[in-house]
Structures are given as structure tokens and as C-alpha cells.
Amino acid sequence: MLNEFVITAIRSMRSYASRVAEYLAKFPSFSSFADSLNGIDVLGIDRFADGEIEAVLRSSIRGKDIVLFASCARNEAGISVEEAKIELYHTIDALKRAQAVRILVFEPFVSCSRSDRTARRSSVGLWVHLKTLVSLGTTHFVTYQLHSDKSKSMLDPSLCAIDDIPVLTLIKRYLCDVYIRDLETLEKVVRPNWAFCSVDAGGEKLARGFANAFGAPLVVAHKQRDYSKVNTIESINILSHEPVEGKVLWIVDDMVDTAGSVESLVHALTALKPAEINIIAVHAIFSPPAVERLAALVRDRLLNRIIVTDTVYCPSELTGGILNLEVVPSTELSAKIVRTILTNSSMSKLLIPFNAETYFKSSSLFNW
């Protein structure tokens, strides 16, 4: 039996949360919870004359489970990283004071996820963020594709549960549905002619997941950074002996920020004469000058297509210059995750490693 719940969001994710609620309403067990699914406007923000903000609840949420969608990255509301974080923290405090039973924060992309190193003389942004969320009252944290597996250990499970969902499965399914379509193409075209490439040695696991899923070769690149500067690449070397001449290459990464890494890698791979080069990434951060770099690579016919998800808002006025950019929606998957958690069901079906051959033979296995 479902406890009473409310689906809501801070201002940066209200459109996304509304689409998730629309999918939830299609499930029979949720169809009668219209008020719970239309709770986006339960939250308000008051602003003082000096610029300080205060989160305000417009109705009672006592005894209810709260699913709070949040993003501190680029967003449709145009709210800055700093203001979005402060709004999120204030909102959790307001929910806790109003005696919500459970507070689930669903942050599809954690903007500070790369600030996870403890060996430097600097703050650890991800730890600060998670520590703040938990100390204010968050009981469950859900996200997509954290930058590193070790990040999950920053949360004490006795205080707050964490689910880091491997959303790259969405893109694997997308490749099957849009570009492969049947088992014969997988066997006769993809396996002999495709290859998946990591951006660096640390990203080998992600690229290997694609190689294993499609039965295609793996190409490993090694990226040397200059850690005295932010977003700076010294060199990229191809470590794999897998021949790539004439192959369709797919570069796999968890995010594209300034596109400096992929730009260097595309140039390095071009010298090996592949048939085409494509990019797969979960989070389309696209900080300047990413759009200009990617658009130039496409314009110069060094890059064919770019496939990302909608975990970061991608307005057409920003990405319009990038031809062949494809955005895979994640809201339906988010709805299924929320349903799973609210009904206390097993999450295992959402975590099944994707296999293209199995998908074509029995797609129901991956029908979450």
C-alpha cells in the first residue's frame, strides 16, 4: 500500500518533474493520486530585499513521502549553480520542519560530482553537497551516473540511502531501436564494423560496458591532464592495438563539459582513418567553448553525431549550432524509479546489465 506522497521540485526542475508525474499517472497504482502528482506548486520561494531567499510550503505535507527533483546545473529557469543549491538546501529544511516522513532528493545530474578528490589542498564539493543534504534531513538520494563509483561511499547508508542508476542503458536501447533495429544487423554490421572508445583510462569501464553489450571491440585512450589548471589536457594517446581503420567509432563518456577531451581525442582518432566518429555521453554540460568545438568538428566532418540524455537542460538556442545532436529523454525511466521506491519494490530490474542480443530476442526483459 502506498503512503501518501508528493512529487515536487525546486524551480530549476519543475518542467522535468511535471513530465515525470505525467508518466507516473499512467501506472494503475498511481492513477488515483492526482493531487500527489500535481504537487509541483506546493513549494514557493520568498525573497527578501537584500536578496536572501526563504522556501515556503503552500500546503501541508505532514506524514507524507516527498520526491524532490533538483538540478544545480544549467536549467530552464535560468537559475545559477549557487542559487539553485541554496534553494535546494532551504527546501529540504522547510520539508523537514513541516514533518515529511521521507525526503527523497532526485538529482539526475550532480553538478559538483567531479569535485571528489581528497588528495589536493582543496574542498571536496561533492562531499560538502551530500553532507549538507543529509544533515538537513534527506533520507534517500537518487542520481544518474555519478562521475566515480567511490563517490557513493561518501554517504552513510544508516543515515541516507543512495541509488546511482546507470542511465547509459537508455542510450544502449536507443542505439538498438534507432540504428540497429534487428539481430541480423547486430551480427553482420555492428559486431564487425563498430568499436567503442573511452576518453581516458578512467572511463574504460563505461566504454567496455558498450563493447560487451554489443559484442564489439574496445579502444582505450589515455588522457594526461595538467592538474595545475582546470579543464586542461596535455596529451591523449591511444593504448589499444585494436585496428580502427574503416570502423564506426563511438566515444563513450559520462559527460561533456568544455569538450576539450573529446576534441583532442577526435583529432587523434581521425589520424587512424575510421569510417566515422560519434560521441555518446550522459550529461551534456556544454560549458563554453563546448558548443563551438563540437560544431566545428561536425562542420569539418571529423565528428558525425552526438548522443546525450536530458539530465542537463539543452535549449535549442544553445545547441542549435551542433548538427546531428540527439537528446534521449530520461523522464520515463525517472518515473519508473520513483514508482519502484515509493512502492518499496526491488530495484534489481533497473540494474540489469544491458545486452543487445538479449534485447532483440526478448525485449520484455528490459521493459522496466
pLDDT per residue as tens digits for the range 178-224: 999 999 999 999 999 999 999 887 789 999 999 999 999 999 887 66
227 or 357, greater pLDDT:
357
Asked if residue 16 has pLDDT above 90, the reply is yes
What integer pLDDT is reported at residue 232 of this predicted model?
47
Grid coordinates belonging to 216 = 564489439
Asked if residue 241 has pLDDT above 80, the reply is no
What integer pLDDT is reported at residue 242 of this predicted model?
72
Please give the average per-residue pLDDT across 52-68, as a whole number: 95
Contacts of 18 (CB under 8 A, 6+ apart): 40
Cα 139 to chain centroid distance, Å, stands at 21
What integer pLDDT is reported at residue 164 of this predicted model?
95
What integer pLDDT is reported at residue 117 of this predicted model?
85
Q: Report CA torsion sign: 356, 357, 358, 359.
A: positive
Grid coordinates belonging to 284 = 551534456
What integer pLDDT is reported at residue 235 of this predicted model?
53
In 3D space, the residue among 23, 15, 72, 4 whose CA is nearest the CA of residue 40 turns out to be 15
66 or 228, greater pLDDT:
66
Domain boundaries, the chain: 5-166+332-351, 168-329
Asked if residue 45 has pLDDT above 70, the reply is yes
What integer pLDDT is reported at residue 315 of this predicted model?
93
* Residues 155 and 113: beta-carbon distance below 8 Å: no
pLDDT-derived band at 243, boundaries 50, 70, 90: confident
- Averaged confidence pLDDT in the chain: 91
* Residues 309 and 275: beta-carbon distance below 8 Å: no
pLDDT-derived band at 257, boundaries 50, 70, 90: very high
- pLDDT tens for each residue of 298-328: 999 999 999 999 999 999 888 888 989 999 9
- pLDDT tens for each residue of 79-102: 999 999 999 999 999 999 999 999
* Residues 237 and 243: beta-carbon distance below 8 Å: no
d(CA 306, CA 58): 42
Which of 3.40.50.2020, 3.30.2420.10, 3.40.50.720, 3.40.50.300 would CATH assign to domain 168-329? 3.40.50.2020
Please give the average per-residue pLDDT across 113-142, as a whole number: 93
d(CA 367, CA 222): 36
d(CA 313, CA 74): 6
Asked if residue 281 has pLDDT above 80, the reply is yes
What integer pLDDT is reported at residue 321 of this predicted model?
83
d(CA 12, CA 23): 19
Single pTM value for the model: 0.92
* Residues 355 and 186: beta-carbon distance below 8 Å: no
Please give the average per-residue pLDDT across 9-25, as a whole number: 95
Q: Do domains 5-166+332-351 and 168-329 have the same CATH topology?
A: yes
> What architecture (CATH level 2) is domain 5-166+332-351?
3-Layer(aba) Sandwich (3.40)
